[in-house]
Amino acid sequence: MDLFDIVFYCFALIAVGSAVVVVFSRNIMYAAFALLFAFFGIAGLYVLLQADFLAVTQILIYIGGILVLMLFGVMLTNRVVDVDIKTGTLQIVPAAILAAVVGGSLSGVFYSTWSTVSGTPSDVATTTPAIGEMLMTSYILPFEIASIILLVALIGAAMIARRKT
């Protein structure tokens, strides 16, 4: 076990541990802050996978944007901080069966394709210029469509959140 592995397990522990807190915390504020650490752990894993652009994006959008939005959402709702947010568990048998089937098949996928994965990723300097070039040439259409999607999301969000006039 070298330094790389140790760092990997640290980040994995942060991500999974925080995710467990998000799910099982009874206070929605604690859950939201645990989500921050979960996102941070994932960003660390991206770095270890040589995906630097993705890691920065993760921090910028998920921690800088979406988490702030979620905290505002929490604070918007009156008194939700003190209220026990967990409700009773419903449909436990079908849910357990579905979770077992999906979990089992995904484990099967990992198990059956494990041998085909090659060892360590090649050491690339940075992925951002390559992503930039792809975005500007062969992925130009998805890039521009993304702006349309963002525009639709902006209009929809502003319209729904707007007070009735």
Partner 1 sequence: MIEQLLSDLSFFKPELTLVVTFLTAILTDLVFRRSPVVVAAVCLAGFALTGIFILGQNGEEALIFGNMLTVDAFAVFFKVLITLSAILVLVFSLSSAELNTPGRSLGEYYSLLVALTLGMILMAGATNLLMIYLAIELSSMTSYILTGYTREAPDSSEASLKYVIYGGLSSGIMLYGISILYGLTGTLDLYQLNQVLATGDINDFTLLIAGVFTMVGFGYKISAVPFHFWTPDVYEGAPITITAFLSVASKAAGFAVFIRFLKVAFVDAGAGEVAGGFWTMLQGFDWPLMVAIVSVLTMTLGNLVALWQDNMKRLLAYSSIAHAGYLLMGVVVMGNEGTAAVLIYFIAYLFMNLGAFYVVMLIANKTGSEDVEDYRGLAARAPFLSLSLSLFLISLTGLPPTVGFIGKLYLFAALLNSGWIWLAVVGGINTVISLYYYVKVFRNMYLREDEEKKGRIEVGAAQLATLVVLLVPIILFFFYFPPIVEFAQASIRIFGTP
Partner 2 sequence: MLTEFGRVLIFFIIGAVFVAGGLVTAWLIRPNRPYPSKLTTYECGEVPIGDTRVRFNIRFYVIALIFLIFDVEVVFLFPWALVYSQLGWFAFVEMVIFIVILFVGYAYVWRKGDLDWDRPAPKIPTFEKGVGVREDHLLEEQVVGS
Which of these segments, 14-22, 100-108, 109-117, 152-160, binds partner 2 (CB under 8 A)?
Answer: 152-160
What is 4-40 written as a DSSP string?
Answer: HHHHHHHHHHHHHHHHHHHHH-SSHHHHHHHHHHHHH
For partner 2, the closer of residues 7 and 19 by Cβ is 7
Sign of the C-alpha dihedral, residues 111, 49, 45, 132?
Answer: negative
The listed partner (partner 2, partner 1, none) that binds 81, CB under 5 to 8 Å by sort, is partner 2
The listed partner (partner 1, partner 2, none) that binds 129, CB under 5 to 8 Å by sort, is partner 2
Calpha distance 53→43 (Å, rounded): 10
Q: How many CB atoms lie within 10 A of CB 34?
A: 19
Number of residues that bind partner 2 (CB under 8 A): 55
Do the Cβ atoms of 66 and 43 come closer than 8 Å? no
> Which residue in the set 72, 110, 111, 114 belongs to the binding site for partner 2 (CB under 8 A)?
72
Q: How many CB atoms lie within 10 A of CB 35?
A: 21
For partner 1, the closer of residues 1 and 158 by Cβ is 158
For 73, the token pair is 């959402």
165: helix, strand or coil: coil
CB of 49 to partner 2, least distance (A): 10
For 56, the token pair is 């920065």
The listed partner (partner 2, partner 1, none) that binds 61, CB under 5 to 8 Å by sort, is partner 2
For partner 2, the closer of residues 64 and 103 by Cβ is 64
For 143, the token pair is 């890039």
Binding site for partner 2 (CB under 8 A): 4, 7, 44, 47-48, 50, 52-53, 55-57, 60-61, 64-66, 68-69, 72-73, 75-79, 81-82, 123-126, 128-129, 131-133, 135-137, 140, 143-144, 146-148, 150-151, 153-155, 157-158, 161-163
